[in-house]
Amino acid sequence: VAVFDEAAAADVCLLPFGVDPFSVTKSANRAVLALQHSVPVVTTRLASMEPLADAVVFDDWEEGLRRYLGPDAEIERARSIAAARPVLERHFSAAAIGRAWLDLLE
């Protein structure tokens, strides 16, 4: 429960990952959690993050922080969260994950 409370209280979520063989296999779970709590994300571009491309800032840490914490932060945060909603529903919702499991099992 503390993780969800802390995620919801954040102004921005920074998710730096390495580009080593272990890190490039990371899932989008942390980014999804942040976006589900209306917290914008700045992250390393990984294959798992590609569905979120229109909703997050990739690799430009300074620009991401300026965007989400600067003078237009409220507008930028709202834009990113609005862009994330249909992607979260389509790719990361319980229904989407259930369909993926069903496809795999069939």
Helix (H, G, I), strand (E, B) or coil at 61: helix
According to the model, what pLDDT value does residue 6 have? 84
What is the pLDDT, as a whole number, of residue 34? 95
Residues of the chain with pLDDT under 70: 1
pLDDT at site 83? 98
* Whether the predicted model's global pTM rises above the 0.95 cut: no
List the one residue out of 48, 56, 37 whose CA is nearest residue 91. Answer: 48
Predicted pLDDT at 2: 78
Question: Burial of 41 by CB count in 10 Å (0-12 exposed, 13-18 middle, 19+ buried)?
Answer: buried
Closest CA to 43 of 63, 57, 29, 54: 57
